[in-house]
Structure 1
Amino acid sequence: MGRRWVTAEILPETVATFTAARLKLVADGKDPGGITASTGWVGGGGFRQVTVAPSMYELTPLGVMLADWATNGRFARAVAGQLGFEWQTKKHAPFCGVRGRMRLAVLDGAVGLEEAREIIAALSERERVTIVAKVVLPGVEEFVAEQSKGSRVKKAPRDLLTGRTRSVRHRAKGVS
């Protein structure tokens, strides 16, 4: 049919019962409803389903804070996805993500000089690292920049909520 479309559904039950089930029938050529017959559709194509997890940030009276669930590997995995790194398992420790020659190290707590030194020591000669931690102790950013040119330190959530997270609204001409 040459169609492309996007839909959103808040209830997982609706996706499982109706949306995904119907799309599977259409792709498999087993859907007798809709315009399938009139277009001569015999199946093919496919679809992609994305499940969005709850935000790892919460707005509190003290400001934006990491949610209670965002600990251990869940926080690291969410950060890897948010920053565009390919997720890696624990066997790659202290790293949890890779993007080209850039590695990702995520700490649930604070990063100090000792942690930064260990992370940098685990890099190969041409690799760099992005270190993300909930607390960045004094002197760490300077140390990392000095010891591994091109490497950086980010504080969560402050440095993760800027830059690429801009919202863009598109409207048709003449619509206000």
Structure 2
Amino acid sequence: MATAEVPVTVQPETVPVQAPVEAPPVADDATSLPAEKTPVPEVKKAKSLDRDVALADIEKDKKLSFIKAWEETEKSKAENKAQKQLSAITAWENTRKADIEAKLKQIEEKYDKKKAEYAEKMKNKAGLIHKQAEEKRAMVAAKKSEDDLKAEELAAKHRATGTVPKKLIACFGG
């Protein structure tokens, strides 16, 4: 593929006009050598070179300044991006922790409720056992009263008849 070259226009730099340097007066002596041309053009060339070097230095400093500003901007962008990501991670972490803590609290409440229910059941069972024990005690007491009454009746009968109970004789070995 052929690439079309785009013509680049270069603006000529404006050069400040300097006053011409006057040559020192020459003596009118016949013995003096013919007047030589003063090195004015060389001075202008040297000044022009110095000026070009100074302009090049200024342009270089300008480029370095732009590069430094760009670098600082890029670093700032990277720092802001990192801070944004870190804050997003922190928010994510806090959300997850809150969810876990809420679930833990729900589980604790659930187990506390079950614990209370089981405690109530155990208290009910203990009450039922106590009631059954009281009933059994009452039955034993009733049976004892009945046996005592029966023994008294038999004793009264034996006294009235004057007989000795047979079971008692077996107990004494007689």
Where relative contact order (Cα < 8 A, 6+ residues apart) is larger, the structure is 1
Greater Rg, structure 1 or structure 2?
2
More helix by share: 2
If the length of structure 1 is used for normalisation, what is the TM-score?
0.19
If the length of structure 2 is used for normalisation, what is the TM-score?
0.19
